[in-house]
Structure 1
Amino acid sequence: MADQGLVRETACAIVGKLKSGEVTPLDLLDVLEKRIAEVDDKVNALPTLCFDRARKHAAALMKKPASERGLLAGLPIPIKDLTSVAGVLTTQGSPIYKDNIPAKSDILVEHLENNGGVVYAKSNTPEFGAGANTFNEVFGPTRNPWDTSRSAAGSSGGAAVALATGTAWLAHGSDMGGSLRSPASFCGIVGMRPSIGRIARTIAAAVDRNLGVQGPMARNVEDLALLLDAMSGEHPADPLSLPVLPTSFLSAARSGSKPQRVAYSPDLGITPVDPEVAAVTRKAAQRFAEAGAIVEEAHPDLREAHECFHVLRAFDFALSKAALLRSKRNLLKPEVIWNIEEGLKLTVEQLERAEAQRVAMTARTLEFFDKYDLLLAPATIVPPFPVENRYVAECAGKKFDNYVEWLGIVYAITLVCCPALSLPCGFTASGLPVGLQVVAPPRGEAQLLAGAKVLEDILGMRGATPIDPRAPK
Structure 2
Amino acid sequence: MTPIHELTALEQAAAVRAGELSPVTLVEHCLARIERLDPRVGAFVTVAAEQAVAEAGRAARRREDVPPLHGVPVAIKDLTAVRGMRTTCGSAVCADRVADADDLVVTRLRAAGAVPLGKTATPEFGLTCYTESAVSPPTRTPWDLTRSAGGSSGGAAAAVAAGLVPAAHGSDGGGSVRIPASACGVFGIKPTRGRISRGPAAPDLFGLVTDGPIARTVRDAAALLDAMRGPFHGDLFAAPPPPGSFLACADRDPGRLRIARRIDPMVPDAKIHPDCAAAFEDASALLEELGHEMVDAPPLFGPELAADFETLWTVLATLDPVDPADEERLQPFTRWLRERGRRVTGTALMRAHARIQGALRRAFAAMDAFDAILSPTLAAPPVPIGHFHEADPAENLRRQHHFTPFAAAYNLSGQPAVNVPLYWNDAGLPIGVMIAGRLGGEGTLISLSAQLEAARPWRDRRPEIWYG
The two structures have a TM-score, normalised by structure 1, of 0.92
From the superposition, tell whether residues 103 and 95 of structure 1 become closer, same or farther in structure 2 (CA, over 3 Å). Answer: same
1:77–1:169 contact (8 Å) kept in structure 2: yes
CA shift digits 1:345-375 (9 cap, x unpaired): 1123322322122212322332233321110
Distance 1:466 1:169, change over 3 A: farther
Contact 1:299/1:375 (8 A) holds in 2: no
Is it true that 1:156 corresponds to 2:177 in the alignment?
Answer: no
1:178 aligns with 2:175: yes
* Conserved 8 A contact 1:84-1:90: yes
| Residues 1:18 and 2:16 are matched in the alignment | yes
CA 1:311/1:26 → structure 2, altered by over 3 Å: closer, same or farther?
same
Partner deviation per Cα, 1:47-67 (whole Å, 9 max, x = no partner): 31112111222222233225x
Shift of 1:299: 4.6
Question: Residue 365 of structure 2 corresponds to which residue in structure 1?
Answer: 367
Deviates more, 1:441-450 or 1:207-216: 207-216
Matched, 1:116 2:113: yes
Is the CA contact (8 Å cut-off) linking 2:28 and 2:53 kept in structure 1? no
Inter-partner Cα distance in structure 1 for 2:280 and 2:259: 14
Alignment of 1:38-57 (within 5 A): 38-57=36-55
Is 2:414 the partner of 1:417? yes
Give secondary structure in 2 for the equivalent of 1:308: helix
1:198-240 Cα offsets, whole Å, 9 max, x none, are 1123344746341111110001211110110111122225453
- The answer to whether 1:72 aligns with 2:69 is yes
Matched, 1:213 2:210: yes
Deviation at residue 381 of structure 1 after TM alignment: 0.7
Which residue of 2 is the match for residue 8 of structure 1? 6
TM-aligned CA deviation for residue 164 of structure 1: 0.6
CA contact (8 A) 1:226 1:250 kept: yes
In 2, are the aligned partners of 1:267 and 1:378 still within 8 Å (CA)? no
Q: Tell me the CA shift for residue 241 of structure 1.
A: 4.2
Counterpart residue type for residue 360 of structure 2: T
Is residue 197–residue 229 contact of structure 2 (8 Å, CA) maintained in 1?
yes
- State the 1:134 CA deviation: 0.8
The question of whether the paired residues in 2 share the 8 Å contact of 1:220 and 1:462 is answered with yes
Q: Secondary structure at the match of 2:406?
A: helix
Partner of 2:272: 273
Q: What is the correspondence of 1:64-463 to structure 2 with a 5 Å cutoff?
A: 64-66=62-64, 68-204=65-201, 206=203, 208-236=205-233, 238-242=235-239, 244-268=241-265, 270=267, 271-303=270-302, 304-318=304-318, 320-321=319-320, 323-324=321-322, 326-390=324-388, 402-406=398-402, 407-463=404-460
CA RMSD of aligned residues (A): 2.2
Runs (5+) with no aligned partner, structure 1: 394-398
Equivalent AA in structure 1 for residue 401 of structure 2? E
Q: CA 1:211 to 1:379, structure 2 compared with 1: closer, same or farther past 3 Å?
A: same
Once superposed, which parts of structure 1, at least 4 consecutive aligned residues long, lie more than 4 Å away?
203-207, 241-244
Secondary structure of the 2:465 match is coil
2:465 pairs with 458, 465, 468, which one?
A: 468
Letter in 1 for 2:398: N
Give the Cα–Cα distance (whole angstroms) in 2 for the partners of residues 134 and 328 of structure 1.
21
Cα deviation for residue 93 of structure 1 reads 1.0
User: 1:169 offset after TM fit, Å?
Assistant: 0.5
| Contact 2:56 2:71 (C-alpha < 8 Å) held by counterparts | yes
CA drift of 1:246 comes to 3.9
- 1:259 positional shift: 4.1
User: Aligned partners of 1:391, 1:212: CA distance in 2, in Å?
Assistant: 23
Alpha carbons of structure 1 residues 109 and 466: separation in structure 2 relative to 1, 3 Å = farther
Letter in 2 for 1:8: E
Identity of aligned residues (%): 33
Moved more, 197-206 or 136-145: 197-206
Number of aligned positions between the proteins = 461
Q: Deviations over 1:318-337 (max 9, x none)?
A: 2x13x416341111111111
Conserved? CA contact 1:130–1:335, under 8 Å: no
Q: CA deviation at 1:277?
A: 0.9
- Offset of 1:26 from its aligned partner? 0.7
CA contact (8 A) 2:196 2:210 kept: yes
Matched letter for residue 430 of structure 1: A
CA distance in 1, matches of 2:243, 2:54: 33
Q: Which amino acid aligns with 1:233?
A: G
**C-alpha separation between the residues in 2 aligned to 1:207 and 1:302?**
22
Kept in 1, the 8 Å contact 2:378–2:405? The answer is no
Measure, in 1, the Cα distance between the counterparts of 2:386 and 2:203. Answer: 34
User: Are 2:38 and 2:44, in contact at CA under 8 Å, matched by a contact in 1?
Assistant: yes
In 2 relative to 1, CA 455–367 (structure 1 residues): closer, same or farther, beyond 3 Å? farther
- Asked if the contact 1:198/1:233 (under 8 Å) is kept, the reply is yes
Change in 2 beyond 3 A, CA 1:206/1:166? closer
Shifted more, 88-97 versus 383-392: the winner is: 383-392
**In the alignment, residue 93 of structure 1 is paired with which amino acid?**
G
Answer whether contact 1:221 1:453 (CA < 8 A) is retained: yes
Q: Distance in 1 between matches of 2:108 and 2:28?
A: 24
Q: 1:23, CA displacement in angstroms?
A: 1.1
Letter aligned with residue 289 of structure 2: E
> Compared with structure 1, are the counterparts of its residues 59 and 331 closer, same or farther at alpha carbon in structure 2 (3 Å cutoff)?
same
**Residue matched to 1:396:** none
TM-score by length of 2: 0.93
Distance 1:464 1:202, change over 3 A: same
Distance 1:401 1:95, change over 3 A: closer
Go from structure 1 to structure 2 and tell me whether the alpha carbon gap of 1:237 and 1:108 turns closer, same or farther (over 3 Å shift). Answer: farther
Instruction: State whether residues 388 and 400 of structure 2, in contact with CA within 8 Å, keep that contact through their aligned partners in structure 1.
Output: no
Query: Does the Cα contact within 8 Å between 1:131 and 1:391 map onto a contact in 2?
Result: no
The one-letter amino acid paired with 2:89 is: Q
Q: How many angstroms apart in 2 are the aligned matches of 1:174 and 1:283?
A: 28
Contact persistence 2:417–2:434 (CA under 8 A): yes
Q: Which moved more, 1:307-316 or 1:267-276?
A: 267-276
- Distance of aligned partners of 1:314 and 1:70 in 2 relative to their CA distance in 1, 3 Å threshold: same
